[in-house]
């Protein structure tokens, strides 16, 4: 045992010494070297000009390196080499953390601690982001990206107003503000869409119980939303084309009445009107109400009407307090209605089948290579981030929504007739 400890310590010491000699390069210098080896330099006569490190800044999420680049090279040239830069920074010859040797506790199991230091030598998973503003900025993000995170109720405590917990990113834990407007949610089967939707609904119910209204359209034939059915915030759960059409027509009608009231009262949007209520319409799965996908004549017509209502909600709903969350497993150009897509400022996508699907949803490839369930691309007008969304268990959902469950006669139990013009069925603004 003693021999084992000593020999391991000696080996560690030797590696440490050789590290001191050979790896004086910090990431900033390493980037320069990788770029040079990839041919990112220019020749002017006999002179070779390469990027020059101008400044580096320590950030919460890692380091930012700022370079001058020679005339003739562009951000695009460096972006083409992103993989080389990333792999170079994560090269297995990455130094062992010498600080860790200084922190060894000699009263504890030495062998175990040394093994840990060697183990962590291999888990470097730095990521990089490049941008240009006259100088080339390379962010080296060294915050670990977990392959799974569990939902904790404390996450809700950190949300303000209409924020919901979104997930861990390279920059820290993110929240999404539902006031941003409509969302497109995509992802191939079993990659985390439904878990995310359940997290979203649970968060809304918990955070704004008196001002949240939900219309849930679940056309995947599952029971994903059934546990929310009796929550007092839930207006309706539709599980087939007919009930989806009734639900959407009702939402559209309410929305138009609301718009009429806004016009009459000179209000520009829901904030100006001082109305706190928000109505979330969640559609999972969009392909099931797409007139381009359904074949029967009658079904096609109903799907067309659903799509018309959804387009209207997407077009004018945001300012009136309506938020569409439009989800699909099969985001083809046929399924993703253009008007709806254009009006969704936020896109969240889990892994997709291929780069074509990724381009339909995000206008760029990338979603096809997301590695694990729960890993997603989050795109807003502010930029693109990779996130790991929290996994929420059903028993946690039940605990959180329990105080909001009421036994009530539901609208969907009494359909399928068209909403009448009878006053009992109409939208009353005074109630809001």
Among 32, 81, 126, 193, binds ligand ATP (CB under 6 A): 193
266 is in an annotated binding site: no
Q: For ligand ATP, which stretch binds (CB under 6 A), given 41-49, 188-196, 228-236, 330-338? A: 188-196
173 binds ligand ATP (CB under 6 A): no
Q: By rule CB under 6 A, what string of x and - marks binding of each residue 387-416 to ligand ATP?
A: --xxx-------------------------
Give min distance, CB of 394 to ligand ATP, in A.
10
Nearest-angstrom CA–CA distance, 80 and 82: 6
Q: Of the listed pieces 50-58, 136-144, 184-192, 293-301, which binds ligand ATP according to CB under 6 A?
A: 184-192
Residue 383 annotated as binding site: no
Q: Does 189 belong to an annotated binding site? A: yes
Residues sharing a CB contact under 8 Å with residue 147, sequence separation 6 or more, in sequence order: 371, 372, 374, 375, 388
Q: Least CB distance from residue 288 to ligand ATP, whole Å?
A: 12
Of residues 316 through 335, those in contact with ligand ATP by CB under 6 A are: 329
In the complex, what is the shortest distance from the CB of residue 150 to ligand ATP, in angstroms, rounded to a whole number? 8
User: How close are the terminal C-alpha atoms of the chain, in Å?
Assistant: 74
Q: How far is the CB of 391 from ligand ATP (least distance, A)?
A: 4
Q: Using CB under 6 A as the criterion, what x/- string covers residues 213-242 for binding ligand ATP? A: -------x----------------------
Among 22, 148, 226, 265, binds ligand ATP (CB under 6 A): 148
Structure tokens at 50: 């390469």
CB 129 within 8 A of CB 139: yes
DSSP 360-427: HHHSSS-GGG--STTEEEEEETTEEEEEEPEE--HHHHHHHHGGGB-----GGGG-SSPP-SSGGGS-
Give the closest residue to 36 by CA, choosing from 84, 90, 74. Answer: 84
**3-state class (DSSP) for residue 324:** strand
Contact positions with ligand ATP (CB under 6 A) in 370-389: 373-374, 389
Residue number, nearest CB to ligand ATP? 374
Q: How much helix, strand and coil, in percent to the nearest 5, is found in the chain? A: 40, 25, 35
Q: Residue 184 or residue 194: which is nearer to ligand ATP going by CB?
A: 194
**337 sits near ligand ATP (criterion: CB under 6 A):** no
Query: CB neighbours (10 Å) of residue 220?
Result: 17
On whether 194 is known to bind a ligand per the annotation, the reply is: yes
- Sequence-distant (6+) residues with CB within 8 A of 322 are 251, 255, 278, 279, 280, 281, 313
Residues of span 59-98 touching ligand ATP by CB under 6 A? none
Single residue of 156, 163, 182, 194 touching ligand ATP by CB under 6 A? 194
With binding defined as CB under 6 A, does residue 192 bind ligand ATP? yes
Q: Interface with ligand ATP includes 191 (CB under 6 A)? A: yes
Residues contacting residue 316 through CB under 8 Å, at least 6 positions apart: 255, 259
| Number of residues located near ligand ATP, criterion CB under 6 A | 16
Q: How far is the CB of 374 from ligand ATP (least distance, A)?
A: 3
C-alpha Rg value of the chain to the nearest Å: 27
Residue 318 labelled as part of a binding site: no
Q: Which is nearer to ligand ATP, 73 or 400 (CB)?
A: 400
187 is in an annotated binding site: yes
Among 88, 181, 187, 317, binds ligand ATP (CB under 6 A): 187
Stretch that binds ligand ATP, among 70-78, 134-142, 182-190, 207-215 (CB under 6 A): 182-190
141 burial (CB, 10 Å; 0-12 / 13-18 / 19+) is buried
Strands 149-150 and 390-391: parallel
Decide: 350 and 343 in contact? Cβ < 8 Å.
no
The footprint of ligand ATP (CB under 6 A) covers 148, 187, 189-195, 220, 329, 373-374, 389-391
Which residues are documented as binding site for ATP? 187-194
């Amino acid at each position: 045992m003693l021999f084992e400890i000593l020999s391991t310590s000696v080996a560690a010491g030797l590696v440490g010494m050789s590290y001191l000699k050979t790896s004086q390069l910090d990431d900033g210098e390493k980037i320069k070297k990788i770029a040079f080896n990839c041919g990112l330099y220019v020749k002017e006569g006999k002179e070779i000009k390469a990027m020059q490190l101008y400044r580096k800044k320590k950030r919460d999420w890692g380091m930012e390196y700022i370079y001058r680049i020679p005339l003739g090279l562009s951000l695009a040239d460096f972006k083409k080499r992103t993989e080389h830069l990333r792999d170079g920074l994560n090269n297995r010859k990455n130094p062992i953390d010498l600080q860790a040797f200084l922190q060894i506790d000699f009263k504890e199991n030495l062998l175990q601690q040394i093994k840990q230091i060697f183990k962590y030598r291999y888990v470097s998973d730095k990521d990089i982001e490049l941008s240009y503003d006259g100088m080339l900025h390379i962010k080296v993000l060294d915050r670990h990206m977990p392959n799974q995170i569990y939902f904790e109720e404390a996450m809700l405590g950190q949300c303000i107003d209409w924020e919901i917990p979104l997930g861990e990113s390279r920059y820290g834990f993110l929240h999404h503000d539902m006031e941003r407007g409509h969302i497109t949610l995509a992802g191939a089967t079993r990659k985390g869409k439904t878990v995310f939707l359940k997290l979203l609904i649970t968060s809304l119910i918990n955070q704004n119980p008196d001002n949240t209204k939900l219309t849930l359209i679940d056309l995947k034939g599952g029971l994903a939303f059934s546990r929310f059915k009796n929550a007092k915030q839930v207006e309706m759960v539709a599980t087939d084309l007919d009930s989806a059409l009734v639900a959407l027509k009702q939402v559209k009608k309410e929305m138009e009445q609301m718009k009429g009231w806004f016009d009459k009262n000179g209000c520009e949007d829901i904030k100006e009107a001082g109305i706190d209520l928000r109505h979330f319409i969640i559609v999972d799965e969009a392909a099931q109400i797409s007139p381009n996908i359904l074949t029967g004549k009658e079904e096609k017509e109903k799907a067309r009407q659903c799509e018309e209502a959804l387009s209207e909600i997407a077009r004018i709903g945001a300012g009136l307090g309506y938020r569409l969350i439009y989800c699909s497993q099969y985001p083809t150009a046929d399924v993703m209605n253009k008007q709806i897509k254009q009006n969704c400022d936020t896109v969240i996508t889990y892994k997709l089948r291929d780069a074509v699907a990724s381009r339909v949803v995000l206008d760029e490839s990338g979603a096809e290579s997301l590695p694990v369930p729960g890993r997603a691309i989050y795109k807003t007008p502010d930029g693109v981030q990779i996130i790991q969304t929290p996994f929420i268990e059903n028993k946690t959902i039940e605990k959180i929504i329990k105080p909001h469950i009421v036994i009530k006669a539901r609208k969907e139990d009494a359909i399928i007739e068209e909403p009448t013009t009878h006053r009992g069925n109409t939208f009353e603004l005074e109630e809001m």
